[in-house]
Structure 1
Amino acid sequence: MKNLKLIAVLIVTIIFSNCSENKNSSNDEQEIRNLISLYDEAAMKNDIGFYETNLAPDYQIATSEGSFENKKSSLQFMKQELENPSYKLISLKSDSVQVHFIGNAAVVSGKWLSTTQALKDSNPVMHNDEGRYTSILEKRDGKWMMVSEHVSDKPHNKTEIEASLKAASESYDKGLMTKDKALFSDLFADDYASTGREGKLTNKEDEINQMMSSDVVFLTSNTDDKNFRIYRNTAVETGKFSSTGTYKGKPFSETGRYTTTWIYRDGKWKIVADHTSPMPDSK
């Protein structure tokens, strides 16, 4: 009889313990889900203080670009974006969030969805992006802290991304005739490099100065036989160009081939490299 009573007490204790653990687990899960929502809100508000408080001192993140950042470098990047933003964040939210516990740690996985808008764009277009993330949080001194993250992007919609690339290419053609310095300053990446007909290499500043020079006057400028190949956030454009005009008062007529390398950065296409080769009959 005593053994039966002891067994009954043990069963009640186990049941009570399991119920208590389930209750704590449920509370922790809700706390973590709320925290994930607060992370999204902090990103929308540029609330760097939130990240300073909730990222663990040993925090690390593997970004979609393949870089590996710690807390210090992550906060520094956020401050730079706050002072000199490269894009406008319209919306950000997490979806399909899953939480799994391993002792005092939690593994959170989910989908992120964002809408951004490029800055310094005469015709700003909304860009919808999405991807996956995995986060590891650890409960330290009774508080859940973000310890590690990994973020990946879903490839952009091919039709949309190709349309925006073609539009950027057409803006280059128009800007050449109108000598639109502001357009080229925005269209060329800061690390832009151009290889000319004689093998001369020029950077962004030099190239724009040459294009804006009063020595060069374009009467006509056309491109055709364009071909675009897109590799995630990088693209290669090849085509044929023909132009007429004057250089230091002397007429010229030129036909050639070109190769342009584009990169999709901060919600817009930018040119990182150009190579032109005149055809034999050019003068």
Structure 2
Amino acid sequence: MLKKYLGQLWILLAVASLYVLPAYAADPADQNRAAVVAELKRLSDAWDQAIIRKDRAAIESNMTEDFRQIDGSGDIETKASFVDGLVSDKLVLDPYTVEDFEVRLYDNVALLSGRSHMTGRYDGKPFKSHYRYIDIYIKRNGKWKIVSVQISKIPQP
């Protein structure tokens, strides 16, 4: 009797697993989210590298025409003024890395944030900057583009 009961229990568990296991399988939405996050990370890294290289075309190709930046002093920059400042001969940026990188997705809007320690020279004078930032990307016509940047200075210790 026990053998028959265990056999029936085994069949019941096997049938139940057909209904339960798919819930634990990789959700296509999660896979798609991971692909979008990876794409945005790649775009963000490529943009950082273009900024260091002063590659105007690559910088601008990642931006919307109505791009705005709010800098650490609360000033607003347009796409043109932002890019002009980055590619200026007065500015030399050392390679930098981003810490605490995070992506939050909301349909066709993505918020990319992190911290960066930036060093370089402006008009020949060395500078150090430590800041937190948020880059806002939107998806238009199937492409992610940065529409806004805001930075907040973190005081030097």
Whether the TM-score (by the shorter chain) exceeds 0.5 is: yes
Equivalent positions of 1:174-213 (< 5 A) are 174-213=49-88
Cα distance in 2 for partners of 1:167, 1:220 equals: 17
Q: Which residue of 2 aligns with 1:173?
A: 48
Answer yes or no: is 1:222 the counterpart of 2:97.
Answer: yes
User: What is the CA-CA distance between 1:253 and the residue it aligns to?
Assistant: 1.0
Q: Normalising by the residue count of structure 1, what TM-score does the alignment of the two structures yield?
A: 0.43
Higher RCO (CA 8 Å, separation ≥ 6 residues): 2
Task: Answer yes or no: is 1:239 the counterpart of 2:114.
Answer: yes
Rounded to whole Å, the distance in 1 between the matches of 2:42 and 2:81 is: 25
1:266 aligns with 2:141: yes
Structure 2 residue aligned with 1:65 = none
**Match of 1:157?**
32
Give the letter for the 2:123 counterpart: K
Q: For 2:76 and 2:155, how far apart are their aligned partners in 1?
A: 21
Work out whether 1:254 is the aligned partner of 2:129.
yes
Kindly provide the CA deviation profile for residues 79-105 of structure 1, in whole angstroms up to 9, marking residues without a partner as x. Answer: xxxxxxxxxxxxxxxxxxxxxxxxxxx
Q: Distance in 2 between matches of 1:240 and 1:253?
A: 13
Counterpart for residue 3 of structure 2: none
User: What is the CA-CA distance between 1:159 and the residue it aligns to?
Assistant: 2.1
Residue 138 of structure 2 aligns to which amino acid in structure 1? I
RMSD over aligned Cα atoms: 1.7
Name the % identity: 30
Q: Deviations over 1:195-235 (max 9, x none)?
A: 01111001111100000001100123221110100011110
What amino acid maps onto 1:224 in structure 2? Answer: E
Deviating 4+ runs (over 4 angstroms)? none
Larger of the two Rg values belongs to structure? 1
Question: In the alignment, which residue of structure 2 is the partner of 1:12?
Answer: none
One-letter code of the match for 2:101? Answer: K
* Aligned-partner residue type, residue 41 of structure 2: K
Residues 138-163 of structure 1, C-alpha deviations (whole Å, 9 max, x = no match): xxxxxxxxxxxxxxxx9x92122121
Alignment of 1:106-185 (within 5 A): 157-185=32-60
- The two structures have a TM-score, normalised by structure 2, of 0.77
How far apart in 2 are the matches of 1:171 and 1:208? 15
